[in-house]
Amino acid sequence: MNTITSTLTEPFDHDHECVSASELEHAQTCHNIDELTEDISMKELNAVHSWLSIAGSLENYTPLHHQIVLRREIIASESARLHLLWFGKVIYVKPLPPCLMNTDFVRNYVCTNSNLHQSAMGFLLSYCKIVCSPLDLSFAKERLLLPEDITWTKWKLFREQTLSRIQHGVIINPRYIYGELRIARLNIIYRMTRRGLVYFSIHREYDSYFSQYFTLLIIAFAFASTVLSAMQVILSTPEYPQLFSRDSYVVSVVTILGILIALFIIACLFLWVFLANTYMTARSHLRPKRGKGGTA
């Protein structure tokens, strides 16, 4: 339930806003308070907040220019649930709505709703952390994360005042206590908490999904082959302890069983993923029919 309060304040003054009232009128932005609340909602991550330490570190925010240094591809996404989530060499960043950089809008709409205020303050905090230099601002504008007409001088003043006020007693959405989060670990958290198969699927094809498991299997197979080859060389010598012969036999059997078990597990995993995807696809096709009064 949303709480309305008059004690919430905007994190910046008119003199420090990045988007004026006239600029906001021409911007393609959301002015509907319900839509904005949904647009920056973090309810899914908040539901597993106690587990987020597995997926990321406290205040782990990396400036955009350093993301480039790490050779990560910065991808703009309108989905707030993907904001600052990463895997491999890709990190998702949600563009900052221009309305959140306008004082009057924040005061008249955001500051009248505590839940929205917490989400907005956390969202602004994340941008103050990742856009810290003129180079960061340049990257942000290139990737359509911030309006093109924002200058470094304007952003610097906005950032300094916003950081100062948010870090001195302003309550932010719990999700932003953490910065960047690993998608792969979030998927594990979702399975552990029985909220679904994945939080976000980073694999769209079966081959890319199972290649990660086969890579580990190939490494293990190469290691086992090296060990067995070394044992075979030792056993081929005329003098070797009888005890070593028995140990070699045990190791060989265990290795073969281990490989067979690993292949069986991967096969079961493939079947599980295939059946789960088939079920979800069938369910998604049945919903429209039922909504129209059809029978399944």
| pLDDT at 90 (0 to 100) | 95
| pLDDT at 44 (0 to 100) | 93
Average pLDDT over residues 166-195: 91
| pLDDT at 54 (0 to 100) | 93
> Which residue would you say has higher pLDDT here, 138 or 264?
138
| pLDDT at 78 (0 to 100) | 94
pLDDT band at residue 244 using 50, 70 and 90 as cut-offs: low
Q: Are strands 73-76 and 181-182 parallel, antiparallel or unpaired?
A: unpaired
How many CB atoms lie under 10 A from the CB of residue 35? 9
pLDDT at 19 over 50: yes
- Cβ(296)–Cβ(290) under 8 Å? yes
DSSP alpha helix (H) spans, the chain: 21-26, 33-39, 43-46, 64-69, 103-108, 114-130, 134-142, 152-166, 183-192, 206-235, 242-291
Query: pLDDT (tens digit, 9 = 90+) per residue, 111-137?
Result: 999 999 999 999 999 999 999 999 999
| pLDDT at 124 (0 to 100) | 97
Q: Nearest 10 degrees: CA dihedral of 79, 83, 87, 90?
A: 80
| CB hemisphere CA count around 248 (13 angstroms) | 18
The rounded distance, in Å, linking the Cα atoms of 255 and 252 is: 5
Listed range (70-79, 165-174, 263-272) with the worst mean pLDDT: 263-272
What percent of the chain stands above pLDDT 70?
74
Average pLDDT, the chain: 82
The whole-angstrom distance between residue 97's C-alpha and the CA centroid of its chain comes to 19
The rounded distance, in Å, linking the Cα atoms of 104 and 14 is: 8
> Which residue would you say has higher pLDDT here, 143 or 203?
143
- Which residue, 179, 159, 62, 172, is CA-closest to 116? 172
Q: Nearest 10 degrees: CA dihedral of 170, 175, 177, 179?
A: -130
